[in-house]
């Protein structure tokens, strides 16, 4: 939520996790940057289109939780 808030320049409390990020006006360059942030933070590889494929914060969270759960244990 914090990274989405940053790129949307909108307070976290004003972002509805069930609303499409496209509806908020998230630009493609920021969607691409958000995917990079996700990769850096979680250590998973995501396609640059991920934000459009699962376009709400709620759906993105579920999807990312699944990817992290599939990571091999260290």
Residue 73 has pLDDT above 80, yes or no: no
- Residue 74 is predicted with a pLDDT of 56
- Residue 35 is predicted with a pLDDT of 94
If you average pLDDT over every residue of the chain, what do you get?
93
Angle (CA) 24-4-63 rounded to 5° is 100
Q: Where are the alpha helices (DSSP H) in the chain?
A: 2-8, 28-42, 50-53, 57-69
Nearest to 58 by CA among 12, 18, 13, 3: 18
Q: Which domains does the chain have, with CATH numbers?
A: 2-69 (1.10.1200.10)
Mean pLDDT of 18-42: 94
Q: How far is CA 54 from CA 16, 29, 58, in A?
A: 15, 17, 9
Question: pLDDT tens digits for 36-58?
Answer: 999 999 999 999 899 999 999 99
């Amino acid at each position: 939520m914090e990274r989405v808030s940053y790129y949307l320049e909108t307070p976290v409390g004003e972002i509805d996790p069930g609303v499409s990020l496209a509806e908020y006006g998230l630009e493609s360059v920021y969607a691409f940057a958000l995917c990079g942030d996700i990769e850096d933070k979680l250590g998973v590889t995501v396609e640059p289109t991920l934000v459009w494929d699962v376009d709400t914060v709620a759906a993105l969270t579920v999807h990312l939780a699944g990817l992290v759960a599939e990571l091999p244990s260290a």
